[in-house]
Chains A and B, each alone.
Chain A
Amino acid sequence: VCYIAPMNTPDLDGYIKDGNHHMKVRVYFEDTDFSGVVYHANYLRFMERARTNYLRLLGTDHRSLFEDTTSEALGFTFVVRSMTLDFFKPSHMDDVLDIVTSPVEVKGASITLRQQCKRGENLLVEAKVRVAFVSGGKAQRIPSALRELMEVRA
């Protein structure tokens, strides 16, 4: 798995500002359920995309550090170990959502992220997500280069 973007695509990847990753998502009909609101499990998909893009941008913004990581732990990836989700308000067709991702804790082999789904100033969903660093099929210590990248912002 390689998170390094082949090209710079800010419209797709979102951006990092003050240590938080922001990504916009438009709600389409396919995202809603029979009652017309976004189906709750689809927020998990939006958040997964945001985490992927956050890592992608860390890679492009700090390419040299990220290359240290990939040489230290070849074919690394993050797997979700636990999630806590609070659903406060619904969202609907055509809404533009902002998915905000922030690292809150970096441990030996896992990282805890806070992810918020907002519509304007309204907080719709908040999640705490613990992801484990996996390389060669096993949980591994997070390489120092990657740890530094996230710790700066945590």
Chain B
Amino acid sequence: MERGRTNHLRLMGAEQNAPAETETPGFAFVVRLMKLDFHKSARMDDVLDIVTWPVAVKGASIVLAQEVRRGTDVLVAAEVRVAFISEGRAQPIPKSIRALMKADLD
């Protein structure tokens, strides 16, 4: 799921030439809260699909939904709240990132 979140952000950045990097250098998202439901187990050789989508964009944090699926089976469902950190402190999320995430909400 961490990889899913990283790549989700990476793809958003790549598509928009990472405008947030110039606005707030050295930013990162840190996990503040996770709710995890383990429904079914995965086994050796399974191919899992990690699906990530934003469900809420707040001032300094984003709530993402994540699912681990095998085919149409949902194995694990998660809600993850990540806070935007720049220069070691929680900061308001720059407009560019907020806009990107919000676009996905609609």
Which residues of A are at the interface with B, using a C-beta cutoff of 8 A?
35, 40-41, 79-87, 90
Tell me whether B32 and A87 are in contact (CB under 8 A): yes
Tell me whether A41 and B2 are in contact (CB under 8 A): yes
By secondary structure, the B interface counts as strand
Query: Which residue of A41, A81, A84, A85 contacts B38 across the interface (Cβ within 8 Å)?
Result: A81
Tell me whether B34 and A82 are in contact (CB under 8 A): no
**Residue B30 interfacial (CB < 8 Å):** yes
Write out the residue numbers on chain A whose beta carbons fall within 8 Å of the beta carbon of B37: 81-82
| Sampled A-B contacts (18; CB under 8 Å) | A35-B28, A40-B30, A40-B31, A40-B34, A80-B38, A81-B38, A83-B34, A83-B35, A83-B36, A85-B35, A85-B36, A86-B32, A86-B33, A87-B30, A87-B32, A87-B33, A87-B34, A90-B30
Chain B nearest Cβ from A35, distance in angstroms: 7
Tell me whether A84 and B34 are in contact (CB under 8 A): yes
Which residues of B are at the interface with A, using a C-beta cutoff of 8 A?
2, 28, 30-38
Write out the residue numbers on chain A whose beta carbons fall within 8 Å of the beta carbon of B34: 40, 83-85, 87
Write out the residue numbers on chain B whose beta carbons fall within 8 Å of the beta carbon of A84: 33-36
Tell me whether A87 and B38 are in contact (CB under 8 A): no
By secondary structure, the A interface counts as strand
A41 to B4, CA, bound (A): 14
Chain B nearest Cβ from A131, distance in angstroms: 10
Write out the residue numbers on chain A whose beta carbons fall within 8 Å of the beta carbon of B31: 40, 87
| Nearest chain A residue, comparing its CB with the CB of B77 | A82
Write out the residue numbers on chain A whose beta carbons fall within 8 Å of the beta carbon of B38: 79-83
A83 to B28, CA, bound (A): 24
Most buried by B among A40, A41, A79: A40
| Nearest chain B residue, comparing its CB with the CB of A83 | B36
Tell me whether A85 and B33 are in contact (CB under 8 A): yes
A90 to B30, CA, bound (A): 10
Chain A nearest Cβ from B78, distance in angstroms: 9
Tell me whether A82 and B36 are in contact (CB under 8 A): yes
Given contacts A82-B38, A85-B35, list 15 more A-B pairs with CB under 8 A: A40-B30, A40-B31, A40-B34, A41-B2, A81-B38, A82-B37, A83-B34, A83-B35, A83-B38, A84-B35, A85-B33, A85-B34, A85-B36, A86-B33, A87-B30
A86 to B35, CA, bound (A): 9
| Nearest chain A residue, comparing its CB with the CB of B41 | A79
Write out the residue numbers on chain A whose beta carbons fall within 8 Å of the beta carbon of B28: 35
